[in-house]
């Protein structure tokens, strides 16, 4: 297949590709929709559940619903959007042909997961948007302007970057060896943030706050904005002030809630960053770290 059109970007008829999506889950349906919005044509998709079939019908109504091997056979550009551990076995089972473009959307894996497709002569690319998908209609609009991790060799990387630009994203090259660390950073920030916020909501609700989400929204939004704009200089609160007494009272109040250990671990990490960045002096840090030490286990004589 001639890839020169794909390199020329949007607006060139030669770049339009027949796309197959395996499968039409939360991620695959949106990536397929983004490619279709960019001018490519989703011709086939696999979908088993009613929810997946509904997504396929909504996002690319002209596509045939077919088994994965038939989807692969129909496509010039094959998008594999399945759970991480299923990528390599699936790639090995599909009828991949030389010159085909095969993409997976996992943030955790590079192109090694597509080794069977590469061995069959396909151009293989790991292409993952730095975005969370909820299955809601606004997911497609959220892709505008987001960064995508692109991993691939030579022409594959070039084609991957072109596809990202066509979908309105920003390509970010990530080496094969760095994909796990890259993905860990995203999970650390996004998934753990969800846990932190919901834990805080639960604490407030337990003490009678009627609308904890509304109470937290301005504070958490401002904190996130400060962190992204100003780095460690955006830190506020008792840890940055070295207020060991307040932190100790927090730990006492959180005893038995299930989050005391998480609070202690995060406060220690916050203290380390505050110390390294000069926002916390060594003297204040010593008392604070003592307060954050794990309680000594009682011994019986």
Tell me, what DSSP letter sits at residue 94?
S
Same domain, 132 and 264: no
CA-CA distance, 94 to 73, in Å (whole number)? 8
My answer on whether 169 and 207 are in the same domain is no
Residue 265 makes CB contacts below 8 A (sequence gap 6+) with none
If asked whether residues 116 and 201 sit together in one domain, one would say no
Q: How many domains does the chain have?
A: 2
Same domain assignment for residues 86 and 144: yes
Q: Are residues 160 and 39 in the same domain?
A: yes
Domain's final residue, options 174, 206, 229: 174
Tally of CA atoms within 13 A in the half-sphere of 96 that contains its CB = 28
- The tokens for 46 are 């696999």
Do 94 and 236 lie in a common domain? no
Is 262 found in the same domain as 164? no
Do 52 and 150 belong together in one domain?
Answer: yes
Please indicate, yes or no, if residue 117 is contained in any of the structural domains. yes
Print the domain residue range for 274.
182-292
In a domain, 151, yes or no: yes
Residue 299 located in a structural domain: no
Q: Which residues pair with 104 in a beta bridge?
A: 80, 126
One pLDDT digit (tens) per residue for the chain, 301 residues? 344 444 344 444 446 999 999 999 999 999 999 999 999 999 999 999 999 999 999 999 999 999 999 999 999 999 999 999 999 999 999 999 999 999 999 999 999 999 999 999 999 999 999 999 988 878 999 999 999 999 999 999 999 999 999 999 999 999 999 999 999 999 999 999 999 999 999 999 999 999 999 999 999 999 999 999 999 999 999 999 999 999 999 999 999 999 999 999 999 999 999 999 999 999 889 999 999 987 644 334 3
132: in domain: yes
Helices 244-254 and 260-276 sit at what angle, rounded to 10 degrees? Answer: 160
The single-letter DSSP state of residue 178 is G
Q: pTM to 2 decimals?
A: 0.86
Residue at a domain's end among 110, 145, 174: 174
Q: Which of 115, 145, 174 is the last residue of a domain?
A: 174
Coil vs helix vs strand at 52: helix
The enclosing domain of 206 has a CATH number of 1.10.1040
User: Are residues 170 and 217 located together in one domain of the fold?
Assistant: no
Judgement on whether residues 130 and 154 belong to the same structural domain of the protein: yes
Q: Are residues 137 and 194 in the same domain?
A: no
CATH of the domain at 100: 3.40.50.720
Structural domain contains residue 301: no
8 Å CB contact between 20 and 74: yes
Instruction: Identify whether 297 is part of a domain.
Output: no
Do you find a cis peptide bond into 23, omega within 30 degrees of 0? yes
Looking at the DSSP assignment, which residues form a beta bridge with residue 272? none
């Amino acid at each position: 297949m001639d890839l020169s059109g794909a390199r020329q970007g949007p607006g060139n008829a030669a770049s339009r590709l027949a796309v197959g999506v395996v499968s039409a889950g939360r991620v695959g349906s949106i990536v397929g929709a983004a490619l279709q919005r960019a001018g490519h044509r989703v011709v086939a998709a696999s979908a088993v559940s009613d929810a997946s079939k509904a997504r396929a019908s909504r996002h690319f109504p002209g596509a045939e619903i077919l088994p994965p091997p038939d989807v692969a056979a129909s496509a010039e550009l094959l998008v594999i959007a399945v759970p991480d551990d299923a990528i390599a076995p699936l790639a090995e089972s599909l009828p991949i042909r030389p010159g085909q473009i095969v993409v997976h959307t996992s943030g955790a894996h590079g192109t090694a997961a597509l080794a069977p497709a590469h061995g069959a002569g396909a151009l293989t690319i790991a292409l993952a948007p730095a975005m969370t998908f909820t299955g809601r209609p606004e997911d497609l609009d959220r892709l505008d302007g987001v960064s995508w991790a692109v991993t691939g060799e030579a022409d594959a990387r070039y084609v991957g970057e072109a596809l990202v630009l066509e979908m309105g994203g920003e390509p970010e090259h990530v080496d094969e060896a760095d994909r796990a660390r890259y993905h860990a950073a995203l999970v650390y920030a996004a998934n753990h943030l969800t846990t932190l916020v919901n834990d805080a909501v639960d604490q407030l609700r337990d003490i009678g706050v009627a609308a904890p989400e509304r109470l937290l929204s301005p504070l958490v939004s401002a904190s996130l904005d400060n962190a992204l704009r100003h780095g460690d200089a955006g830190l506020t609160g008792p840890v940055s002030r070295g207020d060991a007494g307040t932190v100790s009272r927090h730990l006492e109040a959180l005893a038995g809630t299930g989050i005391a250990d998480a609070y202690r671990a995060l406060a220690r990490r916050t203290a380390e960053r505050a110390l390294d960045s000069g926002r916390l002096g060594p003297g204040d840090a010593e008392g604070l770290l003592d307060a954050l030490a794990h309680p000594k286990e009682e011994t019986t004589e």
